Amino acid sequence: MEAAGLMNDLPCLVIRGICDYSDGHKNKRWQQYAALVAAIYAKELLLQIPAVSKDETDGADTQRENINEINFIIPFHMPFLRNNNFVGRVEKLEEVHEYFSGPGFMDTLRIFALVGTGGMGKTQTALEYTYRHHRDYTAIFWISAVSETTIRASFIDVMQRIVKEQARVTWPESPPDYQAISSKLGIPGLIDEKGTVSANLEAFDNIRSAVFSWLQLPGNNRWLLIIDNADDLETFSITEYFPNQGSGDIFITSRRPEFSQSARQVDLDGLDSRSAITLLLNLANLTDSEVPENEATALVEKLGFMPLAISHAGCYINETKLPLEDYLSHYGKTFKAVQSRKPRFGWNYRNDTAVTTWEVSFSKIKEQDEEAALLLLVCSYLNPEEIFNNLWENNVLEKLEIQELVLLLASYSLVKIVKFGVFSVHPVVHSWARERSDPSERFKAIKYAINILGNASVRKNVLRESKEWEAREERRLASHLEYLHQYLKPLFSAFFQGEREFENQILFDHVYNIALVFFRQGKYDEAMQ
């Protein structure tokens, strides 16, 4: 009470004289003695404190006044080193830069979303962008959006960096006043005397709001927020962690294509052939002269020009010294074992491999709809380039149900919608989905594939008899039949031994109809097999 109105602006110490408790009848005759004792104590205390010159006290006042100037410049720091093996993506990087530096870039909030299948290099592209253009920004923050827990940890780290730099700028040669900083940033009591921001969950909302307020301050218009791996759109609302005002850039990477309403959304596909070969040879520690171009081209094509799979292949070849020409056959026989193994050297993808990144998406899909998960496994026995909804019966309701399942798979970028009624599966995802299945899942998927292709063959045969068939449609169907035949042939006997008699008859009927299509196309060996 004695220092009311003073302690808010000036650190001080109150020395009280206590007298009321010296006499049980409470009267004022002891006050003069208490005041005398307090005065003597205060004098002794002052004699022990060294004198401070006027210049020093003026400097302290100036330092305290300078806290009004909020610092916007945060030293560049990324959680990952630059990937020295990064190749290609020139057009995509230019597109991002042009979008962020377009007309009015200092006055608006701009959001760019890079989406695509896991393993396409979305994170690496965002990382490369920050290293190339970090001088264009006064602050760059990396938010790991893998889960709500990682997002919260990232926001606390952002605030920690803001606090640290504010302290350094305001008090370059003296101990910082973190209490003043916490008040100025709108988080009083959430920074301790060492400058550490509270990680208490109950305080997080205040910290997030303070970060948003800092980003929205007038004049703070050259910051970049990377929201990496924003794939979980069901467990929590990712948009709660986006500032909705201010003048800065937000760069999102995600497997989910649901950002088109609020952002410039761009799909990231495979590398161009030359970049893919360069990446492969660099990581395999090989030169162009050591490897025939056709072998390198065949391998990157087999891997669908996917950077993650190509990087894995290059590191694997470098470690094992396996000749490039032998890798394709080795890869085909042991896809899961090869792609699941994390290389010991030259790996720039943290703990991710092609297999782990898709397993996460597949688990999420299975939680939401097991039929969608089954559909992906079924598609792994069909031609991945052109899967059309007309494969299913001419039943409007069934087609709508299939379309919903396809949309769910596409929302995790495990399939790509080519056009209405047609979708495709990346060749490496295609191989992974087939190899990940246990025997029971495999038989279930094959039976499903036989049923839909058998029924489709019946329809095509009927149309052919009535002369209403289209040669193009039959060729499309035949491409799927050839894929199924390729995988069914070695499993044929074991597969039918495991089925009950009446189910066998249905399956045999479907196989007969499939064989009839082969026969009418002059593919007699396939028909007989």
| Tens place of pLDDT per residue across the chain (529 aa) | 455 554 444 556 666 655 555 555 556 666 666 666 666 766 676 666 665 544 444 444 444 445 778 999 999 999 999 999 999 999 999 999 999 998 766 778 999 999 998 889 999 999 999 999 999 999 999 999 999 999 999 999 999 999 999 999 999 999 999 999 999 999 999 999 999 999 998 999 999 999 999 999 999 999 999 999 999 888 889 999 999 888 899 999 999 999 999 899 999 999 999 999 999 999 989 888 888 888 899 889 988 899 988 888 888 888 878 888 777 776 666 565 565 555 554 445 555 666 777 777 888 888 889 999 999 998 888 888 888 877 776 555 677 788 889 899 888 888 888 888 888 888 888 888 888 788 788 888 888 888 777 777 666 554 454 444 556 666 777 778 777 777 776 555 555 555 544 455 555 555 555 555 554 555 545 544 4
Q: Are residues 226 and 365 in the same domain?
A: no
Q: Are residues 238 and 294 in the same domain?
A: no
Q: Are residues 126 and 216 in the same domain?
A: yes
Q: Are residues 362 and 508 in the same domain?
A: yes
What's the rounded Cα separation, in Å, for the pair 49 and 15?
A: 15
What CATH number does residue 331 fall under? 1.10.8
Select from 286, 311, 340 the last residue of a domain. 340
How many domains, in total, are found in the chain?
A: 4
Q: Are residues 256 and 277 in the same domain?
A: no
What's the rounded Cα separation, in Å, for the pair 190 and 294?
A: 61
Does 399 map to a domain?
Answer: yes
Does 200 map to a domain?
Answer: yes
Does 251 map to a domain?
Answer: yes
Q: Are residues 242 and 294 in the same domain?
A: no
Does 430 map to a domain?
Answer: yes
Q: What string of DSSP letters covers 407-467?
A: HHHHHTTSSEEEETTEEE--HHHHHHHHHT--HHHHHHHHHHHHHHHHHHHHHHHHHHHTT
Q: Are residues 315 and 238 in the same domain?
A: no
Q: Are residues 306 and 403 in the same domain?
A: no
Q: Are residues 132 and 259 in the same domain?
A: yes
What CATH number does residue 254 fall under? 3.40.50
Q: Are residues 308 and 285 in the same domain?
A: yes
Does 165 map to a domain?
Answer: yes
Q: Are residues 239 and 311 in the same domain?
A: no
Q: Which residues contact 243 (CB under 8 A, 6 or more apart)?
A: 109, 212, 215, 216, 225, 250
Q: Are residues 136 and 247 in the same domain?
A: yes
Residue 524 pLDDT? 44
Domain of 336 in residue numbering reads as 273-340
Select from 233, 267, 301 the last residue of a domain. 267
pTM: 0.74
